[in-house]
Structure 1
């Protein structure tokens, strides 16, 4: 059976500019500014959980894949049922490619880490306006359904800037799902999420169509158990990528947490041999 959708990263590099003065340790400073370095990988539809220590490039990978940033080098290719789309500095210089990419951008939803929203509009009106912007059929019905699904009905008249904690996180999750994205990208989705939200998120991930792509960067090992695939990042590169069931079968406990811990031990041993 042919794959309906997959993403391919080919030699993707992203280096962040730094205001630090270059002294004798300029190479060490440069290394700390690496987002991704010659990153190559490909994955198919399903839920992929991205793991790695702080600074390994997880958030950079998500932002690039969400088309919020352009890579400095390399390309990201989105293969869909309607065609293939390249995201790179070179391709975006073409007006034709930019116009064609607009279709895909409207079907990618990105959930960043955030602590507060600053809009005065209410939960209900914000969801309704978004449904109208994306030309959803029966936008009022769709916005009401997503509020009920994520336990937000009691907060429908609450201004967004007053949302806090788990309620805020549930709102942005609901908002990201309103357009029924074919690519759903989540950065630490359980951070600040309340128990109800965690339950609803787990159910959403378990019921999500496997013809769509979900990317999750997380340190929550319980959430990681929902993955079809695991990707391990290290220093801006893909160290491991494979089926969760196969990777975790190699550790006695059979859990993502145990597998990740084992991989970190191997990494520390490898680094100690280099010194």
Structure 2
């Protein structure tokens, strides 16, 4: 990755409490311009809550988040952030094409630009031949692919993806990661959550999350080197206190 230490996304002391339970604890995090930053952790570790706060979908109980220098949450940032949720938020009775036209209009896309972007992202996720089918008829993997296509439509400066490749076959998963790397080289900043270790190795830097806390941050190689580990999984277990 080219060296660019411009901070694109910053979290300072971010915590989130639901009634009596605090699920995110005092997170401090910086993501740099053009970086693919991965949040690695098991289900229930607080990753989804954290990315919702970073995307402006949820608000921290305490602490602050800034994206592209703007204090979040901020409605105007909708056009600059692409967000793919872990649960697919689409209209099942509509076709993929109709969903994309609707969400594209929210992003300010119209006319030939909308048509062009729809074609490009549908091809990327291999859904072109299924674009006129109702989403209700889609498999879980197809819904994930359509969610990713929608998040990419408006070519956002910041892309936040929550478990984007769950339920997607290995060949398509590779093509999606190839595209994320292309987007990064082109200037997009990408934050992605995963619990898949080989995906974690593809990130420029990783933040390891356990029980709502950020337990380590660094490049995949540095995290392995610092713990004397051969794999990211071994490094995660080390930082989590599971292996001495």
* TM-score normalised by length of structure 2: 0.86
**Counterpart position of 1:273:** none
**Counterpart position of 2:108:** 135
Does 1:223 pair with 2:199? yes
Distance (whole Å) between structure 2 residues aligned to residue 117 and residue 133 of structure 1: 13
Does 1:109 pair with 2:82? yes
For residues 241 and 168 of structure 1, do their structure 2 counterparts lie closer, same or farther at Cα, with a shift above 3 Å needed? Answer: same
**Counterpart position of 1:6:** 8
**Counterpart position of 1:165:** 140
Does 1:85 pair with 2:73? no
Instruction: Give the paired residue count.
Output: 238
- Given that 1:12 and 1:37 are in contact with CA atoms closer than 8 Å, whether structure 2 keeps it comes out as yes
- Given that 1:166 and 1:197 are in contact with CA atoms closer than 8 Å, whether structure 2 keeps it comes out as no
Q: What 5-or-longer segments of structure 1 have no aligned partner?
A: 18-29, 89-100, 271-275
Distance (whole Å) between structure 2 residues aligned to residue 203 and residue 3 of structure 1: 23
**Counterpart position of 1:98:** none
Distance (whole Å) between structure 2 residues aligned to residue 76 and residue 256 of structure 1: 28
Distance (whole Å) between structure 2 residues aligned to residue 131 and residue 218 of structure 1: 26
- Given that 1:115 and 1:165 are in contact with CA atoms closer than 8 Å, whether structure 2 keeps it comes out as no
Q: Shift in Å at residue 54 of structure 1?
A: 3.6
Q: What 5-or-longer segments of structure 2 have no aligned partner?
A: none
In the TM superposition, what whole-angstrom CA distance separates every residue of 1:165-191 from its partner, at most 9, and x where no partner exists? 221111111111111122211222222
Does 1:68 pair with 2:57? yes
- Structure number with larger C-alpha Rg: 1
* TM-score normalised by length of structure 1: 0.77
Q: Shift in Å at residue 112 of structure 1?
A: 1.7
Alignment match of 1:55 (pick from 34, 44, 50): 44
**Counterpart position of 1:258:** 234
Distance (whole Å) between structure 2 residues aligned to residue 37 and residue 113 of structure 1: 21
- Given that 1:117 and 1:161 are in contact with CA atoms closer than 8 Å, whether structure 2 keeps it comes out as no
Distance (whole Å) between structure 1 residues aligned to residue 219 and residue 24 of structure 2: 22
**Counterpart position of 1:27:** none
- Given that 2:4 and 2:32 are in contact with CA atoms closer than 8 Å, whether structure 1 keeps it comes out as no
Distance (whole Å) between structure 1 residues aligned to residue 200 and residue 5 of structure 2: 24
Distance (whole Å) between structure 1 residues aligned to residue 80 and residue 44 of structure 2: 28
**Counterpart position of 1:24:** none
SS in 2 for 1:205: helix
Q: Shift in Å at residue 117 of structure 1?
A: 4.5
In the TM superposition, what whole-angstrom CA distance separates every residue of 1:67-100 from its partner, at most 9, and x where no partner exists? 111111111122x3xxx21126xxxxxxxxxxxx
Q: Shift in Å at residue 118 of structure 1?
A: 4.2
- Given that 1:64 and 1:70 are in contact with CA atoms closer than 8 Å, whether structure 2 keeps it comes out as yes
Does 1:40 pair with 2:28? yes
Does 1:208 pair with 2:193? no
In the TM superposition, what whole-angstrom CA distance separates every residue of 1:165-223 from its partner, at most 9, and x where no partner exists? 22111111111111112221122222211234312222112222253321122111111
In the TM superposition, what whole-angstrom CA distance separates every residue of 1:94-125 from its partner, at most 9, and x where no partner exists? xxxxxxx3332222122122368443221122
SS in 1 for 2:38: strand
For residues 104 and 59 of structure 1, do their structure 2 counterparts lie closer, same or farther at Cα, with a shift above 3 Å needed? Answer: same
